[in-house]
Amino acid sequence: MCAARSTRIAERVSDVLGVPRDVALDLPRLSLEGNVRLVLENHKGIIEFSTDRLRVQTTAGQVSIVGRRLVLRGINRERIVVEGRFDNLEFLGWEVS
């Protein structure tokens, strides 16, 4: 309840000051190229990984990809690059409206 309230305050402040929301709210940034490549920045680690499913923890919640032949092309502290055939992209437990 308290976290949701602080999030709303941060949203309003970012709107008033014109600061990008992903910076103000420490949100993950996702760049999707079709349904074959995803670059996810500002992650908190992998929760689950297999050839048909990838679940990544972020500051806002989890990002889940369901697909086929998923490959982690690269991973470091800031970003994950994943390739494959994506069938479904889900945001689980996100608190940002």
Partner 1 sequence: MAVSSLWEWVRGYVIIKVTGRMLEKFVNMAAARRIGLHDVTTLGPGMMLARVSIDDYRQLGPILRACGCWATVDQRVGAPFVLSGLARRKFLLFGLMIFVILLSVMSSVLWTIDIIGADAEQEGMIRQVLYDMGITRWTPLSSVDCDDIRSEITKSVQGLAWVGAETQGTGLVLRVAGKVLPDAPAAPIDLIASEDSVIVRLIVLAGLPHVREGQTVAAGQVLVSGQEPTGEGGSVVHARAIVEGRVWREARAKVPLIVEQRVRTGRKAIQYRIVCGSIDLNLGRAGGFGAYDTKEYRRDLGPGVELIRIERHEIAVTTTRISRGEAYVLARASAEESIRGRLRGDAEILSVTENVSDEAVMGDAVEVVLIMETVEDIGIAKERL
Q: For binding to partner 1 (CB under 8 A), which residues are involved?
A: 45-51, 70-77
- Judged by beta carbon, residue 20 or residue 74, the one nearer partner 1 is 74
Closest approach of Cβ 13 to partner 1, in Å? 31
> CA-to-CA distance for 78 and 43, rounded, in angstroms?
6
Q: Do 66 and 51 touch, CB atoms closer than 8 A?
A: no
Closest approach of Cβ 71 to partner 1, in Å? 5
- Judged by beta carbon, residue 76 or residue 97, the one nearer partner 1 is 76
Q: How far is CA 89 from CA 26, 35, 42, 60, 96, in A?
A: 20, 9, 17, 15, 17
- Judged by beta carbon, residue 32 or residue 72, the one nearer partner 1 is 72
